[in-house]
């Protein structure tokens, strides 16, 4: 939860223009997590959660 929260904080600050860019060094990275299943040490797919919330809350269309 802390990793997801840190990435969300960073993503929203960059999207809002408070920061020019950012780089999150967090654990777990989420690359093993499925949409509805935790795998390995990844309980949440941090990147997918951040992307979805940026799309929903800030109407961001494209995310790299």
d(CA 39, CA 47): 15
Give the active site residues.
Answer: 32
Assess contact for 10 and 26: CB atoms under 8 A: no
């Amino acid at each position: 939860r802390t990793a997801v929260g840190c990435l969300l904080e960073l993503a929203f600050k960059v999207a809002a223009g408070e920061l020019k860019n950012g780089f999150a060094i967090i654990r777990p990275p989420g690359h093993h997590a499925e949409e509805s299943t935790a795998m390995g040490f990844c309980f949440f797919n941090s990147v997918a959660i951040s992307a979805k919330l940026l799309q929903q809350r800030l109407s961001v269309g494209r995310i790299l």
